[in-house]
Each structure stands twice: as structure tokens, then as C-alpha cells.
Amino acid sequence: MSQHPLLDGLNDKQQQAVSNDDSHLLVLAGAGSGKTRVLVHRIAWLIQQRQFSPYSILAVTFTNKAAAEMRGRVERLLGSNVRSMWIGTFHGLAHRLLRAHYMDVGLPQNFQIIDSDDQQRLIKRLIKSLNLDDKRWPAKQSQWYINGKKDEGLRPQHIDTYDPTEQTLKQIYQLYQESCDRAGLVDFAELLLRAHELLRDNRTVREHYQRRFRHLLVDEFQDTNSIQYAWVRLLAGEQNSVTIVGDDDQSIYGWRGARVENIQQFLDDFAGAKTIRLEQNYRSTAAILNAANAVIANNSDRLGKELWTDGDDGEPIALYAAFNEMEEARYIVSQIMAWQEQGNAYQDAAILYRSNAQSRVLEEALLHQRIPYRIYGGLRFFERQEIKDALAYLRLLANRDDDAAIERVINTPSRGIGNRTMDMIRQTARDRQLSLWDAANLMVSEAMLSGRAKNAVASFIELATRLDDHTIDFSLGRIADEMIKQSGLLAMYEAEKGEKAETRVENLKELVSACENFNLDDTEQEQMTPLAAFLAHAALEAGEEQADEYQDAVQLMTLHSAKGLEFPLVFMAGVEEGLFPSQQSMDEPGRLAEERRLCYVGMTRAMQKLVLTYAEQRRIYGQEHFHTVSRFVREMPADSVYEVRAQATPTKTESYGRFHHSVSHETFEQTGFSLGQRVRHQKFGEGTVLNYEGSGPQSRIQINFDNVGSKWLVVAYARLEPAGF
Ligand SMILES: Nc1ncnc2c1ncn2[C@@H]1O[C@H](COP(=O)(O)OP(=O)(O)OP(=O)(O)O)[C@@H](O)[C@H]1O
Ligand SMILES: [Mg+2]
């Protein structure tokens, strides 16, 4: 019997899932087993074989990018467009519903979506208007509260509480809601909630969509939250078919309200649902898959799945122990260069990391070698809001007349300098041809401002002056450290709640690390002060174009955003106890299990080659840490991992007080020198080898000369000789 072309290239179980009749279906399977592929083929099958109109299909994916890809793949399979099919993220689809029914939900036609930052700013203003102390009531806390309630489907009137704190939060929520409604603003949580209310409360609309969407298909179902699940149930109604695919081992958003229990709930709620398990992995080599399976086996409470491959063993997983994070980054970059020289594309390599703050050092190493890269789902380090705030303070220290810097931070964190005061300062500056700084000083000394405004401006001037005087003899790292503390920036972000604020605090501390490690010689701008040189470096780096969409570029992303994707070559950087698993997760079994699932997700992104790296010493979040290799690595079978560099002989270099090891991998061997070695230069005299980069004739070596300090030299020209101790 000849089979339908849409079933070609699928195994039996996959074919069963694709050609399933109209009963509800759960495809429960491990990573890389073809779940997403099954969804794509099933959509095409429904249209071509079962004659459903694309109009009657609704598909949900986890990101917009995944939605676009899925639509493209369906269209390629069918050879026709499926424009009338609804496909998108839960948020995107909710938005579409609200646009179509704005009147039914009481929104103006031109309602606007606000992002998390806008939302927070609005809440902040409202807290002030209630005359609440914003130290006692940080906007972030209210934001967290409001969004949490919305995710549970609760409006202010549903909240009954005698707790005085919650009563105030409820009052803020109420006021926030009123002002959003008045202004026609909709936040992310509101999109989901309002669309849910529309479907729940408006029978005509509900029945319309229930009649329309005969098939609902959801990818990455393990990461749906309560309201998203409620949505699926409403749209399914009594007669429509629901296909969900997921993997309980890849549930990694529990911390954000996702409920892996929804998989079990689905089987309870949707009568007659079938379960199909896919067990063959088509993505990764046996070495990678076996190691990933061994890691996840350490979790309990799993729904239980098998995963095997008949593919090649492939290369074992490489484990590289770097002596610090910079050397880790250089190693990764050198491997990517070697891989590219073998004829591979940059875009087939991905660097995954646990924390956003790790990206800075990696970005710098890539920039240094002029390798294009793209940060997936995020801003580059020096473009992030909190970093720009902090840099503005540093700019102000370097140059009081930097008006843009003053504009940015004169009231960040809030010091009671309002728009009116700022307008007056701007006006004075214009009238008298002064910088904002000079205008502000003038207005304070000549009492041109009212009492409160004057005090606020004076305190800002005093802060900048004090910071400068106080840090005059400090190293760049200490200047940055004092600045984030004294300016109140650190405290401001620390007072906020939520993941984004946590990341911001981490990034600020990471900026301190960046300053500490900043090497003046790197810039070859020895006439500049370290601060000025650093600022130039940061500005240039931020101004560097992010690789554009079509350019071949290395992919950088957090482990979380790598979900569902695959790459021939994958690096997982920072696999260390305390970083991955994270420090906070180590004492809580639930969180540790989620970290382990994240490790499983990361490893199973790799198709051909997986490289794990860790740094024995890492300066992160502004502090030096000595880490051991992650327990997850120890959970991998010994024969599936090989250490790239086993032997390490620590030598201490006085100037840096850091431990260095002699490296034995090729790149450095070519130079003929080893870290910590004593060398002699004709002009500069004797010194100790601190660092190196690049390979072949281009390789450069950093030497701390006893008399002239540290210098980077090109090995080929430096004519260095070994020297005795
Ligand atoms: N029957 C098959 N024959 C050959 N290749 C397949 C088959 N099924 C899937 N693949 C390929 O295996 C890879 C993984 O498939 P897919 O991304 O659909 O897996 P998944 O289960 O969705 O993974 P994840 O859990 O990571 O989202 C893809 O490159 C896909 O094209
Ligand atoms: Mg998938």
C-alpha cells in the first residue's frame, strides 16, 4: 500500500499522531523526537487529507519566531499559503481576539499594548498619586502582585482580604486598572485575561470561535499557565479536537507560573484523549543523548519516557576547565573559529548560558575576533537599561557637561526632580548658553528654584561632586562599585521584585566586574584616564551593529530561550556549582529539579557536538567565586565526556593575585610560551606571561613586565626569549 506523501519520512508512532482522527491527542515525548515536526505534518494532513480549511485551525507556539517557522513549513508541505490559519503565541492570539472584538471587551479601537517597563512607570506614578511612600511600596512589588492576580484570572473586585498590606495592593491594582481602561492601555497579563473573559462571558463570540476552530494544536504544552489552559478548554468546547505536544522533562517556566500538571489535567478533562509516545530521537548523536538521559534520570516524579537513537555515537561531549571566565570565552571563540574554518557556518553554532550577565565576556571575546553574533531574545550588555543608567553616572564623573547623561539620571532613582523643574533647568541652560550641570548649579546658588525643587537639585549636585572627590584615587572597579551604591541605582533595582529586576542587579554588579577587569592597554589609548577609556570602549561596543537578520552569525542566548531550537554545535558556558545549578536552587529540591530540566533542555539542543565549559574562578555579579564543576556534569556517564585539558599547574602571578595554569591546548602551544612563564624582551626587560589570544602569526600575548607594567604584544614580532626565575 502506498502511503500518503505527508507521512513520508515519519516513523510509525509519528504517522499515527499525524493521521489521528478527531479524538483528543497528547503526544508525550522527549527532546528531539519530532513533536514539533508531528504538529507541522498534522496541520498539513488536516488540510490536505481531511479537507479542513486552514481557517478552521488554531495552532499555538511558544515564540513568534516559532510561529513564523511553523507557518512556513506547513506552506512548503502543502505548496499553498495558509494565511487564514491562526497561528501564534497565546499572547499574540489574545491580541488578535481583542482587536477583532474591542467593543465587546470595552476597549477603544486604538488600544495600545504596554510592556513591562511602561507598566512599571505607570504604577509608580499611581503610587505617588495615592500619597504612598514609594520606599514602602515599590512599584515592582505592585506590578508583581497585579500580574500574578491577572494570571490567576482575578480582578480587584474578586479579591477579599483583611490583610492591610494586601488591601493597599488591591487599591493600587484597582486604580491601575481604572487608569489603563481610561487610557486604552493593555499589559501582557491583561491580554490573556481579557481574551479569556471575552470567551467566557460572551456567548455569541465564544460560539463563533468554537464553530470556527475545529482543531486546536499546542506545542510546548508543559509550559502553559492556568489561564492559557482555561483558554484552550473554552475554545475546545464540546465538539472540537485538541492536540497537545509536550515533554514534562522540559518544563522550565515553573517559576513564572507554568503548570506541568496541565498535562495530567488535560487527560482528566478531555474525555477519550489518546496518548502517543515518541521514543526515537533524530536530533542528537548517541553520546549527547545518552548523557542527557543520564542527567534527567536523577529527577523523580517524571511521567517516564524512553528516548533512543540509531544514529552515530558521534564525538564524546567535550568538557573544558578554564581558569577564569575570560579564558573560557576565548576558548569558546577559538573553537568556533576552528569550526568555521572547516567550512561550517557561524549560525550553526550556539552559545548557551544560565544567566544573562554571562553574555558580556562572551560578547567581548567575539567582538575582539570580529565574529558576527546575535543575541537571541535580548539586548546586548551595554545596551541594557540599567547599564545605560550606570554608564550615565560614570559619564557624569568624567564630564559634568554631558547633558544626555544628566537627563538620564538626574531623577533616576527618583529624587523628586519633576518635569517642571527639569524644564526650568533646560530653559536656563538655553537662555544662558550653559550646560545643564552649570545651569542647575546656577539655579541652586541664585535661589531660582522653589524650596523643594532646590533641595532635590542640590542633593543631586552634591552626590555627583561627592562621588568624584571621594573616588579620586580609586581603581576603576571601585569607582563603579561606589557609583552603583551611592547613586542609589543598585538599591533601586534591589527594591524591585521579579526576574527582570534580579537580572538588572546582576548586570550592575557585572558592570563592576567589567570595570575591574578592564585593561587599559587593550584600548591602546594610554593617554586617557581609565574611566574615559572604559567609557569609550563601552560606547563603541554598544554602537557596534548587532548582526542583521540575514548575516551569518553565532547565536547567543540563555538556556531558557533555547527551548525548541537545535544547532549542530552547542556550547554550554558556566556549568559550575553555584551558577548552574544556581545558588538559590541548591537548597530547594523543586527548584533544583527545574535546573536539571534546564540542563536537559540545553544539552538536547546539540545535534553533532556539545561542549561544556566552566571556569574555576569567575568574577560574576562583582564578586570573585571559586566554583567546582556542576553536579550535572558529574551525573553524565564518564565515557560520554572527555576533558579537553586535564592537567593544570597553578602558578601565582603577583600583580593580579590570580591563579593561572599552564595551558596545553594547541592555540597557545603555537606561541611557544605558557602562562606564568618568565620571558625577556629587548626593550621592556623581564616579565611574566599573563594571557594570550588568537592563533598563528596573529596571536598576541600579554606580559606583565617588571618595570613597565602590562603590555600586549604580537608574538611574531616581539622576539621574546624565555628567562629564568
Ligand atoms: N522521522 C524522522 N526522520 C528524520 N528526522 C526527523 C524525524 N522526526 C523528526 N526529525 C528531525 O529531528 C529533529 C527534531 O525534531 P523536532 O524539533 O520536531 O523535535 P521536538 O520533539 O519538537 O524537540 P523539542 O522537544 O526539543 O522541541 C528535527 O531536525 C526534525 O526534522
Ligand atoms: Mg519542539
Residue 349 — very low, low, confident or very high, per pLDDT cuts 50/70/90? very high
Looking at all shown ligands, the one closest to residue 292's CA atom is 1
Residue 117 — pLDDT band, cuts 50, 70, 90? low
Q: Choose among 131, 107, 128: nearest CA to 180.
A: 107
User: Could you tell me if 552 and 372 are in contact, meaning their C-beta atoms sit under 8 angstroms apart?
Assistant: yes
Sequence-distant (6+) residues with CB within 8 A of 577 are 586, 627, 628, 629, 630, 631
pLDDT given for residue 337 in this prediction: 96
Asked whether residue 125 carries a pLDDT value surpassing 80, the answer given is: no
Active-site residue, from 143, 250, 412, 613: 250
Of the pLDDT bands very low, low, confident and very high (cuts 50, 70, 90), residue 694 is low
CB atoms within 10 A of CB 12: 10
Report CA(27)–ligand 1 centroid distance (Å): 13
Report the distance separating Cα 422 and Cα 605, nearest Å.
Answer: 51
pLDDT class of 527 with cuts at 50, 70, 90: low
Rg (CA), the chain: 29
Residue 708 has pLDDT above 60, yes or no: yes
Closest C-alpha to ligand 1, atom 11: 282
Alpha-carbon distance 11 to 33, whole Å? Answer: 10
Is residue 427 among the annotated active site residues?
no
Distance CA 674, CA 720 (A): 12
Cβ(43)–Cβ(57) below 8 Å: yes
Instruction: Specify the pLDDT at position 530.
Output: 83
d(CA 449, CA 125): 23
Ligand nearest to the CA of 307: 1
Ligand 1 center from residue 38 Cα (angstroms): 8
Q: Is 134 a catalytic residue?
A: no
DSSP string, 486-529: HTSHHHHHHHS-SHHHHHHHHHHHHHHHHHHH--HHHHT-TTS-
**Mean pLDDT across the chain, nearest whole number?**
86
Q: Using the atom order of ligand 1, give the atom closest to the CA of residue 604.
A: 26
Q: Are 336 and 342 in contact (CB under 8 A)?
A: no
Task: Verify whether residue 628 is a known catalytic residue.
Answer: no
pLDDT > 70? residue 322: yes
Task: Pick the atom of ligand 1 nearest to 14's CA.
Answer: 1
Nearest CA to ligand 1 atom 14: 32
Per-residue pLDDT reduced to its tens digit, 634-682 = 999 988 899 886 334 333 332 222 223 333 333 355 567 777 678 888 7
3-state secondary structure of 1: coil
Determine the distance separating the centroid of ligand 1 and the alpha carbon of 255, expressed in angstroms.
27
- pLDDT-based confidence at residue 698 (cuts at 50, 70, 90): low
Q: What is the DSSP string of 2-56?
A: PPPGGGTT--HHHHHHHT--SS-EEEEE-TTSSHHHHHHHHHHHHHHTS---GGG
Catalytic: which of 35, 305, 395, 711?
35
Give the ligand 1 atom nearest the CA of 601.
26
**Ligand 1: nearest atom to the Cα of 282:** 12
Is the Cβ–Cβ distance between 331 and 572 less than 8 Å?
no
Centroid of ligand 1 to alpha carbon of 247 (angstroms): 13
Q: Is the torsion defined by CA of 97, 101, 102, 104 positive or negative?
A: negative
Domains and CATH numbers, the chain: 5-97+193-278 (3.40.50.300), 112-183 (1.10.10.160), 286-380+546-643 (3.40.50.300), 382-518 (1.10.486.10), 650-722 (2.40.10)
pLDDT score for 54: 95
What pLDDT digit, counting tens, does each position of 271-284 carry? 999 999 999 999 99
SS3 425: helix
Higher-confidence position of 1 and 722: 722
679-691 tens-digit pLDDT? 888 777 888 777 7
Q: For residues 493 and 501, is the Cβ–Cβ distance under 8 A?
A: yes
Q: Whose CA is nearest to atom 30 of ligand 1?
A: 34
Tell me the average pLDDT across 292-307: 90
∠ at Cα 164 (162, 169), nearest 5°?
Answer: 105
Measured distance CA(436)–CA(404) in Å, rounded = 9
Angle between helices 226-236 and 188-201 (to 10 degrees): 30
Q: How confident is the model at residue 77 (pLDDT cuts 50, 70, 90)?
A: very high
Predicted pLDDT at 592? 94
609, 568 contact by CB (below 8 A): yes
Model confidence over 440-469: pLDDT tens digits?
Answer: 999 999 888 888 899 999 999 999 999 988
Identify the H or E element spanning 427. helix 419-432
Alpha carbon dihedral 117, 123, 128, 132, in 10-degree steps, equals -120
* Residue among 422, 425, 419 at smallest CA distance from 441: 425
Q: Which of 6, 10, 36, 276 to mutate to test the pocket of ligand 1 (most atoms within 8 A of CB)?
A: 36
Phi, psi of 680 (to 5 degrees): -125, 140
Is the backbone of residue 470 left (phi > 0), alpha (psi -120 to 50) or beta?
Answer: alpha
Active site residue 309: no
Arithmetic mean of pLDDT, 70-81: 94
* Ligand 1 atom nearest to CA at 31: 25
Model confidence at 523: pLDDT above 50: no
Which residues are bridge partners to 274 per DSSP? 25
Report the candidate in 508, 559, 254 with the shortest Cα–Cα distance to residue 393.
508
Quick check: 471 pLDDT over 90?
no
Task: Answer whether residue 187 shows pLDDT above 90.
Answer: no
Q: How far apart are CA 602 and CA 588, in angstroms?
A: 21
What is the interface pTM, i.e. ipTM, of the complex?
Answer: 0.99
Q: Are 284 and 258 in contact (CB under 8 A)?
A: no
**Binding site for ATP, residues?**
29-36
Q: 544 versus 5: which is more confidently predicted?
A: 5
As given in the structure block, the three cell numbers for residue 81 are: 499559503
* Residue 199 to residue 204: CA distance in whole angstroms: 9
Poorest-pLDDT segment among 334-338, 545-549, 607-611: 545-549
Share of the chain above pLDDT 70, in %: 89
Verify whether residue 115 is a known catalytic residue: no
Q: Which pLDDT score, from 0 to 100, does residue 607 have?
A: 97
Contacts 24+ apart (CB under 8 A), 332-335: 332/362, 332/365, 332/571, 332/573, 332/611, 332/613, 333/362, 333/365, 333/366, 333/368, 333/369, 333/371, 334/667, 334/695, 335/571, 335/611
User: Tens digit of pLDDT for each residue in 249-268?
Assistant: 999 988 877 889 999 999 99
Q: Is the pLDDT of residue 603 over 90?
A: yes
Which range of 53-57, 126-130, 304-308, 586-590 scores highest in mean pLDDT? It is 53-57
Could you give the CA distance from residue 593 to residue 494 in angstroms, rounded to a whole number? Answer: 27
Pocket residues: Cβ below 6 A from ligand 1: 9-11, 14, 29, 31-37, 247, 250, 282-283, 564, 566, 604
Q: How far is the CA of 266 from the centre of ligand 2 (A)?
A: 19
Overall average pLDDT of the 548-577 stretch = 90
Q: Which of 220, 363, 496, 510 is catalytic?
A: 220
What pTM was estimated for this model as a whole? 0.74
Residue 181 pLDDT: 86
| Cα-to-centroid distance, 10 and ligand 1 (Å) | 10
**pLDDT for position 558:** 92
Based on the residue annotation, tell me whether 36 is a catalytic residue of this protein. yes
Q: Which of 13, 18, 37, 249 to mutate to test the pocket of ligand 1 (most atoms within 8 A of CB)?
A: 37
24-38, 59-73, 174-188, 638-652, range with greatest mean pLDDT = 24-38
Indicate if the pLDDT at residue 579 is higher than 60. yes
Strand 317-324 versus strand 606-620 pairing type: parallel
Rounded CA-CA distance 119/143 in Å is: 8
